[in-house]
Amino acid sequence: MRIANMTAIISLSLAVCPVDAGITILEDLRRTTSWAESWSGGNRSYDAPDTATHPEFGGSGLIITGGFASWDGAIASGQSWERSLIGLGGRIESRGRSIGHTITNNDPVDQQSATIFSEVHYELTFRINQSALATYDAWVEADATVALYDALGAVVFSGQGMFEQTLQAGEYRLLAKAPLFIESVQYDGAIYDGSDYFFSLHVPAPTPTVLAAIALTITRRRS
C-alpha cells in the first residue's frame, strides 16, 4: 500500500459575498474528486474521475473485475465529501473526508491490482473589515491538512487544536485538504483507508460598543 498527497486543480471563482459586518468573502473554491481503477486477469475496469465543484459529494462507483464470486477478481471503491457553513456572526466551518477500499488477491495466475484516488479541496479567501479576536478550532486525521494564511502567505493557524488570536483587518486564506491514494498490487486481502478534517473559525463582528468607540475616535480625530 502506498499513501501520497495529491493536489486537485481548482478553477471556480464566486462573486464577493458578505458574511456579516465583520467578514467579506472574496473567493470560495471547493471540489471533491474520486477515481478508481482495477485490473484482474488482463481485464480492466475504470471509473473516470467523478468531480464536483461546490456540490458537497463526489464518489466513484464500485469497480469489480474478474469473477468475484470465486474471489478471482479485484475491487476498488472511493468516495469524498465536504460540507460547509458560512454563517452570520463571522463563523466559517468545513468538514471533509475521503475514504476508499480495495480488494486484491495474491494469485500468480490472475494478476490483480486496484488503485484509488479521492480528495477534498476547500479554499476560502476573505477580508476582515475590523480587527477582532478570532477563535480557531480544528482536528485532522491521516494526510488531511488545515491552515489559515495571511495576505503575505504566512501561516496564522495550522493543524489541529484550539487557539485564540487577534486578527488584524486585511485578507486571509483558509486551505483544507483531505487526500487519499491507495495502490494495491497482488495484496491478499482488503485495504481500507481515509483522511478526515474539521475546522471552525469564528471572527465576530464588532459589537455596538466597539463600533461606538471607533466612531468616537474618528470624530475626535476630525475635530
- pLDDT confidence bin for 51, thresholds 50/70/90: confident
Angle formed at CA 85 by CA 25 and CA 136, multiple of 5 degrees: 80
Helix (H, G, I), strand (E, B) or coil at 41: coil
Which stretch, 23-32, 86-95, 151-160, has highest mean pLDDT? 151-160
The residues with which 206 forms a beta bridge, in sequence order, are none
8 A C-beta contact, residue 66 and residue 158:
no
pLDDT at 1: 34
Angle formed at CA 88 by CA 87 and CA 89, multiple of 5 degrees: 115
pLDDT at 209: 43
Global pTM reads 0.78
Measured CA distances, 136 to 46, 78, 176 (Å) = 40, 30, 13
Give the DSSP H/E element, type plus range, for residue 104: strand 91-104
Distance (Å, whole) CA 64 – CA 46 = 9
149 grid coordinates:
494564511
**Percentage of the chain modeled with pLDDT above 90:** 44
- pLDDT mean across residues, the chain: 79
Instruction: Tell which wins on pLDDT, 106 or 9.
Output: 106
Average the pLDDT over each of 158-162, 187-191, 195-199, 210-214 and give the range with the smallest value. 210-214
8 A C-beta contact, residue 13 and residue 27:
yes
Measured CA distances, 158 to 110, 150, 163, 197 (Å) = 46, 12, 10, 12
pLDDT for residue 138 is more than 70: yes
